[in-house]
Amino acid sequence: MAGPHESIRVFAASRPSLRALWASRSGRFDRLHLIVPSDAVVGEPVTVRVQAWDEYERLHAIEGTPSLDSTDDDATIPAEVSFDGDGPSVGPGNPEDGVATVEATFATTGVQYLTAEYRGERFVSNPVRVHDADPGERTLWGDIHLHSSLSDGAGAAADGFAFAREVMGLDVCAYTDHDTMGFFIPPRWQRERMHDRYFDRLKRTTAANNDPGEFVTLFGYEWTKQPTKGGHINVYFDGVDGAELFDSHAEETDSYEGLWERLREWRDSGAGDVLTVPHHPAEAMYPFDFAATEYDDDLAPLVEVYSQWGSSERPGREGNRRPIQMGHGETDSPGTYVQDALALGHRVGMLGSSDYHGPYPGHSLMHAKPHLPSLAEWRRDGVGWGHIWRVWNEQSYPGGLTAFRATERSREAVFDALRSRSVYATTQPDRILAELSVDGTRVGEADSTVTADGERTIRFEVHGTAPVESVTVVKNGDPFHVATGTTDYDAPLSTFSQSETLTDDAPVTGPTYADGRGGDADYYYLRAQQATRRDAAYVPGGAAWLGPVWVEP
């Protein structure tokens, strides 16, 4: 396993060009984002956030007024969007000038889009599923893996919550500061600070920013075995007041198994519910070996399949377009990928987050070209990895998002979605709508499990934020079906969607891991890949991971 000296070598190799940093003081307009709630009801207005960004991922003042249109010919929308300088006060760059809000009212059911045209270029919103009545269940969006100045991040969690809500229009957010830390914060010092005051401070901030019905804040922390002693796990509680800090340096919780045992005791005492989520398990410095762990599917029902570090779904040599790139890169160790966990028979679902160490949930800046944060950001946020990464040339990927299938914007409903695996992962800022079912059972329903001795029906549906390049249904680690689309980013809106109904009549065998272990249920999950923007601002294009659904014999 790599040590601190290797971290210093990697960091030194990423030093930026001083000339490029100087040139980054001003940026050019790059694109518009149109963010709309993923569900709407005919005749009921929804808020549309229109954002202007530069090539350094900073909000940007623009001249003129973009025109607005919709695939719903009968929708009520303004003809133009005016950026009047009355936007929110939080964000990188010029948030007051770079964010505008308007209202849209749809009149036609089905999946609809809004489009904006500015300087001859078309920009498309995320897809909106329009219903004729309240659907009961909605797709909510969240970023639930972030770090503040209470550990090694930049800025305050309160500022991050404000950015998530006011700028990005997220429904859910969580800060998960480290229980211990390494590199430039001695692990025991961070542990003492968390137990002494930081854990309680994060509790107060999380509670103060929760707004049931409008915006949900989850409470958690990152169990961080340091220095470089294995994988990291986020711990999430269903409430705030009763949450306790079980840290990675305490003798009884300094192993994965010890942590899960203590959390089970805490849960069984009636204090509340809790679950854990391993993340970037395939990173070489912090690998999480599913094959060498007494894994707990009950307390760890999900894995963070994607973040700004990259994707731990499968190795790069097997076609992963987003292999782990930050830190020491992808590990060569077996047992560290989500496909390994599934091959071992573990019932884990997939979510995505950013793991950004700054006050910008839903829009991490890790992949941006090296640039200088403003003096106002340094003064407000202090020094932390979020700003250091922006200056240093450690470009990786946009962060991730989690889609929650929930009945309401409440902490209870959101936690239930996590517990039932009624979630899926996308890249930022791609709020892709995705469905996967086997014999009518969707991901998250009936423990994501069906029984079938013979023929079974698999159905998928994807509505993207760009033309869909491919949709792959994976069965037991191998492609079962690949639906191909287009690589043309400028293709018409008709190419933004893919759906199919498939049949599988093969006997249920279950997957098998390399050492002969495995499970007795087949599993299916979905991987969607979108076309890459022609100027490669996001390389590769947006993606989503949904599932699995298990089929028992």
pLDDT in tens, the chain (553 residues): 444 445 556 556 667 788 888 888 888 999 999 999 999 999 999 999 999 999 999 999 998 899 999 999 999 999 999 998 888 888 888 888 899 999 999 999 999 999 999 999 999 999 999 999 999 999 999 999 999 999 999 999 999 999 999 999 999 999 999 999 866 788 889 999 999 999 999 999 999 999 999 999 999 999 998 766 778 999 999 999 999 999 999 999 999 999 999 999 999 999 999 999 999 999 998 899 999 999 999 999 999 999 999 999 999 999 999 999 888 899 988 899 999 999 999 999 999 999 999 999 999 998 998 998 988 899 999 988 888 888 887 778 999 999 999 999 999 999 999 999 999 999 999 999 999 999 999 999 999 999 998 899 999 999 999 999 999 999 999 999 999 999 999 999 999 999 999 999 999 999 999 999 999 999 999 999 999 987 655 568 999 999 999 999 9
- Does residue 176 share a domain with residue 315? yes
- Does residue 153 share a domain with residue 119? no
Judging by DSSP bridges, how do beta strands 99-104 and 46-54 pair with one another?
antiparallel
- Does residue 289 share a domain with residue 188? yes
Q: What is the pLDDT of residue 256?
A: 95
Please indicate, yes or no, if residue 172 is contained in any of the structural domains. Answer: yes
Q: What is the pLDDT of residue 538?
A: 52
- Does residue 157 share a domain with residue 85? no
163 in helix, strand or coil? helix
Q: Judge residue 506's burial from the number of C-beta atoms within 10 Å of its C-beta, 0-12 exposed, 13-18 middle, 19 or more buried.
A: exposed
Residue 293 DSSP symbol: S
Q: What is the pLDDT of residue 230?
A: 77
Please indicate, yes or no, if residue 364 is contained in any of the structural domains. Answer: yes
Question: Residue 339 sits in which domain range?
Answer: 138-426
- Does residue 153 share a domain with residue 114? no
* Beta strand ranges found along 247-384 (DSSP E): 274-279, 302-307, 310-311, 349-352
Residue 29: count other Cβ atoms within 10 Å of its Cβ.
Answer: 17
- Does residue 276 share a domain with residue 412? yes
Q: What is the CATH number of the domain that holds 288?
A: 3.20.20.140
- Does residue 333 share a domain with residue 357? yes
Which of 131, 162, 179 terminates a domain? The answer is 131
Q: What is the pLDDT of residue 10?
A: 59
- Does residue 68 share a domain with residue 123? yes
C-alpha distances in Å from residue 123, one per residue of 50, 107, 184 = 10, 22, 42
Please indicate, yes or no, if residue 164 is contained in any of the structural domains. Answer: yes
Q: What is the pLDDT of residue 7?
A: 55
Please indicate, yes or no, if residue 52 is contained in any of the structural domains. Answer: yes
Q: What is the pLDDT of residue 94?
A: 82
Cβ contact 502:459 at 8 Å: yes
Please indicate, yes or no, if residue 85 is contained in any of the structural domains. Answer: yes
Please indicate, yes or no, if residue 82 is contained in any of the structural domains. Answer: yes
Residue 302 DSSP symbol: E
Please indicate, yes or no, if residue 13 is contained in any of the structural domains. Answer: no
- Does residue 400 share a domain with residue 347? yes
Please indicate, yes or no, if residue 389 is contained in any of the structural domains. Answer: yes
- Does residue 348 share a domain with residue 227? yes
Q: What is the pLDDT of residue 25?
A: 85
- Does residue 100 share a domain with residue 47? yes
Q: What is the pLDDT of residue 181?
A: 83
∠ CA 233-234-239 to the nearest 5 degrees? 145
Q: What is the pLDDT of residue 2?
A: 47
Which of 394, 426, 458 terminates a domain? The answer is 426
Q: What is the CATH number of the domain that holds 540?
A: 2.60.40.10
- Does residue 230 share a domain with residue 106? no
Cβ contact 425:544 at 8 Å: yes
Report the half-sphere exposure of 425 (CA within 13 A, side-chain side): 33
Domain count, the chain: 3
436 in helix, strand or coil? strand
Task: Name, in order, each residue with C-beta under 8 angstroms of 101's C-beta and a sequence gap of 6 or more.
Answer: 47, 48, 49, 50, 87
Which of 426, 453, 481 terminates a domain? The answer is 426
